[in-house]
Amino acid sequence: MSNWWSGAIALILYNTAYMAELLRGAWRELPTSMIESGRAYGFSGFTLLRRIILPPVFTSAMPMIGNQVVQIVKDSAFLTIIAVTELTHQMNGIQATYFIPFAAFITAIALYWAICLVIESMTGLLSKFAEERRA
Amino acid sequence: MNFSGDLPLRADNAPLSIDDNTAPVVLQLNGISKSFGSNHVLRDVSLKVHQGETVCLLGPSGCGKSTLLRCINWLEVPDGGTVHVSNQRMGVRDGSAHKMTDAELARSRARIGMVFQHFALWPHLSVLHNVMEAPIHVLKRPRDEVRAEAESLLNRVGLADKINTFPSRLSGGQKQRVGIARALAMKPDVLLFDEPTSALDPELVGEVLGVMRGLAEEGATMVIVTHEMEFARQVASRIVFMDAGEVIETGHPERFFAAPQTQRAQQFLARFRAPHEARPG
């Protein structure tokens, strides 16, 4: 297995646990009356889950999901340890070759920041969409 | 406006006695009992509701009215007794002792409309889609047809200008009217109302009761749990008075309010009477 894939699998496993916990929390906070009205109107099983339960779970968990995605970006830096060619790893290579640690890592910071800003503005838009759709 | 052509109109001379009613029986409860732990909430409750009847369930708080309503569509599973909706048994497969599967139960529930005390609208869906959701995804009816009906139902409950609004932006009275439209969109055999106005500000109660009055006049079959005595007196075709999990008295509203037969009903009504009204005896 390539480094890239083992890194990806590690990140996926690790963050899936966090995501699951986030969604579980949002599900628990959901008013039971809403799910009950779904049942009363003849929803059951997968349709109940897909049409009635999951949409409000996602809308209420939206800001936390955004935070967690930012966390994934930051966690990706750890993959340099197993020599995955991600941002930190590349910058480390550059500074070792040209002896410019300061410039290289400042650039890395700027790029991480830019990625996070993009994620943040996207979750901001989604949150606006979700806001009026909350109970 | 005719919102669902298949509801027959009630005859002007609706029978006073329940036994005289020749309309088909839509809802039949037999010996329903239910307890939560050692607390017997319902004891051997039986009730028959004919097509076009508006039955108001009255009684003190905690007497089991809401639980009875929730037993009808199996949101609470009764410990004993049977529920038949349009001659089909709820919860148990016909002709056997087997419990229904979730999917079978869901199909049975789709024939019963329910309006909840706290509205229980789906917050992620617009008003229009709250009404369309179950007809499309449960009854699998064509979207265009459902949409046209939903729009006319919302028009009927006075919310034509709110169809694209989300529930979080509505007042309580508006939410409850959406709840009623949502129930009607299923064209249910019977409509259950669980204290539909209890969570509303006083000035919003009227708009919801107005819609329900209209339904009663058009001959919808309804079972209403309510504390609105004046509404019950004017709109009900029959009053069922419950106390401590039992049906204590049942009768025509004029007779029930003017001359309740049992002491418990008399006591209950005395607490609701306005001070200026003459007290019996």
Q: Give the pLDDT mean for B126-142.
A: 97
ipTM associated with this complex: 0.85
| pLDDT at residue A17 in the model | 95
Give the residue on A whose Cα is nearest the Cα of B165: A132
Average pLDDT, chain B: 89
| pLDDT at residue B277 in the model | 52
Say yes or no to pLDDT of B20 above 90: no
Chosen for mutation from B69, B74, B122, B223 (greatest number of chain A CBs closer than 10 Å) is: B122
| pLDDT at residue A135 in the model | 73
| pLDDT at residue B64 in the model | 92
Q: Are A134 and B121 an interchain contact pair (Cβ–Cβ within 8 Å)?
A: no
Pick from B89-103, B120-134, B166-180: least confident? B89-103
DSSP string of chain B, one letter each residue: --S-TTSPPPPTT--SSGGG--SPEEEEEEEEEEEETTEEEEEEEEEEEETT-EEEEE-STTSSHHHHHHHHTTSS--SEEEEEETTEESSB-TTSSPBPPHHHHHHHHTTEEEE-TT----TTS-HHHHHHHHHHHTS---HHHHHHHHHHHHHHTT-GGGTTS-GGGS-HHHHHHHHHHHHHTT--SEEEEESTTTTS-HHHHHHHHHHHHHHHHTT--EEEE---HHHHHHH-SEEEEEETTEEEEEE-HHHHHHS-SSHHHHHHHHHHS-TTSPPP-
Residue A33 C-alpha, separation from nearest chain B C-alpha, in angstroms: 5
Q: Is B188 on the interface with A (CB under 8 A)?
A: no
Say yes or no to pLDDT of B184 above 90: yes
Q: Are B120 and A34 an interchain contact pair (Cβ–Cβ within 8 Å)?
A: yes
The model's pTM is 0.85
pLDDT in tens, A26-53: 999 999 999 999 999 999 999 999 999 9
Q: Is B175 on the interface with A (CB under 8 A)?
A: no
Q: Are B182 and A43 an interchain contact pair (Cβ–Cβ within 8 Å)?
A: no
Write out the two tokens for B47: 């009730």
pLDDT in tens, B152-177: 999 999 999 999 999 999 999 999 99
Q: Which segments in chain A show pLDDT lower than 70?
A: none
Q: Are B123 and A34 an interchain contact pair (Cβ–Cβ within 8 Å)?
A: yes
